[in-house]
Amino acid sequence: MPAAYPQLQHRPASAEDLHEIVRFPQDADELFFAYPKASWPLTVGQLAAAMAERRGSTVALLDGKVAGFANFYQWQNGEFCALGNMMVAFWARGQGVAQYLIEAMERQAREQYKARLMKVSCFNANAGGLLLYTRLGYQPRTIVERHGPDGRRVALVQMDKPLMD
């Protein structure tokens, strides 16, 4: 565990964690940012279905309590992993959980999938996410049009970062 995050740890997510994780998104917009295909409010069933289709579901623990969640929604051995379902509990925000978890997922991508690239996608309205990913070295590659839950046009900024050994 890096010294910069003495109170943070991570481990594979379990079914027992789902009841806590579904409470992370505070509103429909936050849920859309983390899991666009889900419907508000997030349910254990929706999250369990996502975990079944995805790989590397991981929780970050802040002082032993589940504080963050992420997984890979795409992966190609030796090539890339794409980060998905990135969420941090409201009470844990501003304490380095997102950065810690993203770095843990980058290590997992390198070590388990031999990925040379990590991809992330972030909606234009998620300023906090865009700023965090940019600060962590992610570069915008393209912007694609999507539609929000209300049908309005939104921009999905697709970014990536080379993963060094």
What is the predicted pLDDT for the residue at 1?
45
Average confidence score pLDDT of the chain: 95
What is the predicted pLDDT for the residue at 163?
97
- Tokens read off for 93: 């925000």
CATH 3.30.365.10 fits 8-118, yes or no: no
CB 110 within 8 A of CB 153: no
pLDDT digits (tens, 9 = 90+) for 29-46: 999 999 999 999 999 999
Instruction: Give the Cα separation of 117 and 78 in Å (integer).
Output: 9
Domain boundaries, the chain: 8-118
Q: What are phi and psi of 148, to 5 degrees?
A: -75, 175
CB 120 within 8 A of CB 83: yes
What is the predicted pLDDT for the residue at 164?
80
